[in-house]
Amino acid sequence: MSVAKQNTPKKVTVHTLGNMTLKGEKISMITAYDYSMAKLVDSAGIDVILVGDSAANVMAGYETTLPITLDEMIYHAASVVRGVNRALVTVDMPFGSYQGNSKMALSSAIRIMKETAANAIKLEGGQEILESINRILSAGIPVMGHLGLTPQSINKFGTYSVRATKQMEAEKIIADAKALEQAGCFAIVLEKIPALLAKTISEELTIPTIGIGAGKYTDGQVLVLHDMLGITQDFSPRFLRRYMALGDEIRSAVKQYSSDVKTVNFPNDNEQY
């Protein structure tokens, strides 16, 4: 075997994830939107990289995820894929690229797969988008579902508060999750729902559930990279664990650089030709 082949990590597939869940091994997932971060995140051994439409918030500064376009998602996803060797790359279908009808959904999904070389797509919603999910799956494109808090529907719900605290909504999410599994989705993101509801869903499904603000019983966890690194500083929901205060570190490094420039402390004699 060549050295290059020996050093290439085994690519994570949708089957890898299913087997991990069967064995009780948790799945780690994180967002990335560009080549450099994706390369770092992949080399850290993360299982799934989500090119989330949260790019609208953390990359473009929009208040909601609604404005980001299919072309913009494709740009981010293609950049991420170029930085990744091992992780499974899943791309969010942006608002407006699949809700119209199943034909539109399929052609958007095909554009993502063709133009980015990603491994799967994710879309938000349950039984109401089943026809689109079926059509995308029938083209051989792996689909990740997304239930609970679905940020593309913010104008319907009005808030980003915890979802499914009432029995009726909880029952609908359970039914939706079962319908998505039955259709053939390979995993489902459960966002901001009570931990015990996420536990019930995870126990009733065989495909992996990936939680964000859904407690510890899901088969995996996902966080937005910029939130967990502390680059975003004005967003502090209870579920968010910050692993770094990178925003503070970046600010102080740039402050130091600026001061070095102004005091002619940079560049020094060794930093010139």
Q: Which of 191, 203, 249, 271 is labelled catalytic? A: 191
Taking the C-alpha atoms of residue 153 and residue 185, their distance in angstroms, rounded to an integer, is: 21
Rg (CA), the chain: 20
Residue of 21, 31, 90, 97 interacting with ligand KIV (CB under 6 A): 31
CA-to-CA distance for 91 and 52, rounded, in angstroms? Answer: 6
> What track of x and - describes contact with ligand KIV for positions 80 through 109 (by CB under 6 A)?
------------x-----------------
CA distance to 123, 187, 214, 255, per residue, from 147 (Å): 9, 11, 11, 42
Angle formed by the axes of helices 102-116 and 70-82, to 10°? 30
- The length of the chain in residues reads 273
Task: Identify whether 191 is a catalytic site residue.
Answer: yes
CB of 174 to ligand KIV, least distance (A): 19
**Which residues from 160-189 bind ligand KIV, rule CB under 6 A?**
189
Asked whether position 224 contacts ligand KIV by CB under 6 A, the answer is yes
52 contributes a contact to ligand KIV by CB under 6 A = yes
- Between residues 52 and 208, which has the closer beta carbon with respect to ligand KIV? 52
Structure tokens at 88: 């499974």
Site residues (vs ligand KIV, CB under 6 A)? 31, 50, 52-54, 92, 189, 191, 212, 222, 224
Q: Which residues are catalytic?
A: 191
